[in-house]
A and B are shown apart, each in its own frame.
Chain A
Amino acid sequence: MRNKYSIFSLFKNALSYHENWQRAWKDPAPKKEYDAVIVGGGGHGLATAYYLAKKHNMQNIAVVEKGWIGGGNTGRNTTIIRSNYLWDASAGLYDHALKIWEGLSQELNYNVMFSQRGVMNLAHNLQDVRDLKRRTHANRLNGIDAVYLNTEEVKKFCPIINTSQDIRYPVLGGTLQRRAGTARHDAVAWGYARGADEMGVDIIQNCEVKAIKRSGDTVEGIETTKGFIKTKKIGVVAAGHSSVVAKMAGLKLPLESKPLQALVSEPVKPIIDTVVMSNAVHAYVSQSDKGELVIGAGTDDYISYSQKGSHQIVEGTLNAILELYPIFSRMRMLRQWGGIVDICPDASPILSKTSIKGLYFNCGWGTGGFKATPGSGDLFAHTIANDEPHKLNAAFNLNRFVSGDLVDEHGAAAVAH
């Protein structure tokens, strides 16, 4: 039994100079066989394992991760959480996640530092204004909190924004979702890992999948760098590398993997207490609890797995940031990195069964998967356990690319792709 984290355990461990904290998860060797194996130990994969064990009573499962847990896009995103998507299917999916976020720290007994500081999306032209108003109405019809703000209200909510009308892309208004915010991304992976491990899930790091073995149209197991693992159910949650894993099973996915960059500044005192996103000029910024500005840039247009990106993408984002926040003009940037995001043609994810029995894919989250982590794990666990999608992820099946029933969130989602 794992010790519960609390103010008392913190005090107790302080007395021994924090040298006797219990290990948060084990480091097991893979067993010969599992009831299910999750490929990919990021937030979504670990959450899937957690909910499989917790809600579907599947404890004999493993998560295999080629690197270390949370070392991919989970640790590379800009930690924004919101659910103000346009279409009903997306609203259902992302708000399901947001509702889990609201109680996640308590559920996991792990502080994921979820902070509902609000997310504001800016409008810079007449079409933006129309789109954002339309989305606000759509959100409200779906029970998602959303308000439209005019320029003065934007300025009042976030005083450091330059709202003068003589800049190249003036701020004409914006939307605000107050329940939205940020969370500490590493803590999400660690919290889910600890929770899953406690229920008996094996988290196997430095274990890369090399092949998927199947007989006919049924999976039999995976060949890994730590040997063969037999299993009847494989849930692939491999983000940018989804196509690579799909190829092992002889499948093709409608994905393109591209570099997405982010950067953080030197830490400063609190200056921006919310998240501000601008689709049109592609700039979004928030401030971490350490005081760094967390800035998200855009994707490159070419396919790459190199976890790098082009300088002009960062330059374009910083141009926009400086015009909107002249106060940041002398800030120095500390770190810049890239992550590989798997983008679907309709900018919506895939949480789906496949034509191969026992093989499930959770991918295509593109540039905005972090916010969905708890909901994605919950719904994917349901899909794997019951061999049927939950009604909230039924629309996000792989067959939509054949039927044409796409969930087209490109641009509509208030996100800059």
Chain B
Amino acid sequence: MKNRPNKNTLPGFNLSLGYAILYLSLIVIIPLSATFLKAFTLNWADFWQAVASPRVVASYKLTFGASFIGALINVVFGLLTAWVLTRYHFFGKKFVDAFVDFPFALPTAVAGIALSAIYSTHGWIGSRLEPLGIHVAYTPLGVVVALTFIGLPFVVRTVQPVLEDLSAEVEEAAASLGANRWQVFYKIILPAIWPALITGFALAFARAIGEYGSVIFIAGNMPMVSEITPLIIITKLEQYDYAGATAVAAVMLVISFILLFAINGFQWWSNRRLGNNR
């Protein structure tokens, strides 16, 4: 940066910013605000009735519980995948690496019917789990499977670049000082990658709680058992209960926004922490 006064010589600031804000307002801000305004028109008793009835509460438990477990599975196997892809060489590695993004590219409805086909009692995997007494499709376990699928790329893609940037020196130093491989992982590598792990977890979790398409086919959608919150919103809409749908949507929106700000804040904090270390 030259020591130039505040003047920027590039053109188009007003046009581009003005257009961006106008478009953002029309597509995103105004419709979202309208939802909150609509939710505020409910009186408190109706609102509470809509968002805290037993069936809705059961759906929160399932949605958040299954999202949490799915994200946790992805932390373990996402770390493993990122590790293998950055450290080892094997046949077809490039292909596997590209394929990790498959859940981002595959339409959720296709994922939903494919997963329910293979995990149902007659499916390739479901039929093998059946004798063990494990039922996946049309149970809460099916919800976990679908949410694990759609969250799969997040942890891999947040951890992978951090693992790639780790310098070998530190590991060598630790090894030469007598640390074994497990100690190196635990004391050297894990402290460096945990912010990325948490970010990946949070992204997968945030994506999972809103997910609809991949879940409804495999969940069975039994009220109180395997019904997710987005489906509650759809059901209320189909019954023309717009107020109720809006109330539940407002609760979910608030939770999603809190998550979004938490993730952004955490990333800012961990970037700063890394920056200070350098």
Partners in one complex: no
Interface residues of A, Cβ cutoff 8 Å to B: none
B interface residue numbers (CB < 8 A to A): none
